[in-house]
Amino acid sequence: MAVAEQKAYEAIRTAIASGAFRGGMHLRAADLAERYGVSRTPVREALRRLHAEGLVEFFANRGAYVSCWSQSDIEEVFALRTVLEGHGAELAAVRLSAEDAQQLERLADDMDELAGNGPGRDLQALAAANGEFHRIIVSAAANRRLRAMISGLVEMALVTRTFGFYSEADLVRSMTHHRELIAAFSARDPAWAGSVMRSHIRAAHHVFVSSANAGNGLQPQAG
């Protein structure tokens, strides 16, 4: 993969994830090329990749736009995440290795530190650590089909942008959920782990719904 394309992809994706590029924003290749110091070709390729991930939409004769989400989209994705990741946590509770458990502890420490950095926190780093935390749990579940289904959901803008809307209280609650998940895994208790994970996803859902009601680049469903 060309270096320029990867540079453009990561920069645009980060801007969307952070909310700097909001839903419905027109993504003009010429403007993005100038902004990131690359030519238009790698920008166009980056936009195609982002379209495949559900972050960008293309419209005939109009170009590329940051994807918007309806209320129905929000409900469907988070309902699926609640079921799938809850089940994944239950499976992981009896399959997680000691090495994976240690890595979860390290990631929880990292996230606590990042979340405690106030308004200037690195949201990209926080989201990356959070993603790795969840990836380890899903991987430990050792269910190939479950992993594939979850992977398709967590790549969506609906999830990657959520951290940008968290209040301080939301972050504290999220970090607490991580610690309780680790405790449930340590106890090898599937019911406890599944319950905490479902609560964790439902809390993220309500953060995103609140951001939708505030007009943060989402489209309410007509009717």
Give me the pLDDT at residue 7, please: 93
Give, in order, the Cα–Cα distances in Å from 37 to each of 43, 63, 193: 10, 20, 46
Residue 155 is part of which domain span?
Answer: 71-213
Give the tens place of pLDDT for each residue, 107-155. Answer: 999 999 998 887 778 877 888 899 899 999 999 999 999 998 887 676 5
44 lies in the same domain as 23: yes
15 lies in the same domain as 83: no
52 lies in the same domain as 115: no
Token pair belonging to 186: 């340590």
Give me the pLDDT at residue 106, please: 98
Output the domain CATH number for residue 16.
Answer: 1.10.10.10
Residues of the chain predicted below pLDDT 50: 157, 216-223
Cα–Cα distance measured from residue 158 to residue 165, given in angstroms and rounded to the nearest whole number: 11
**Helix, strand, or coil (residue 68):** coil
189 lies in the same domain as 133: yes
53 lies in the same domain as 85: no
140 lies in the same domain as 168: yes
For residue 200, how far is the Cα from the chain centroid? Answer: 13
Residue 24 lies in a domain: yes
The total number of structural domains that make up the chain = 2
Output the domain CATH number for residue 179.
Answer: 1.20.120.530
77 lies in the same domain as 136: yes
Domain end, chosen from 46, 66, 86, is at 66
Name the percent of the chain in helix, strand, coil, to the closest 5: 75, 5, 25
Give me the pLDDT at residue 128, please: 84
Domain end, chosen from 66, 82, 116, is at 66
Domain end, chosen from 36, 66, 96, is at 66
CB 149 within 8 A of CB 85: no
Give me the pLDDT at residue 221, please: 28
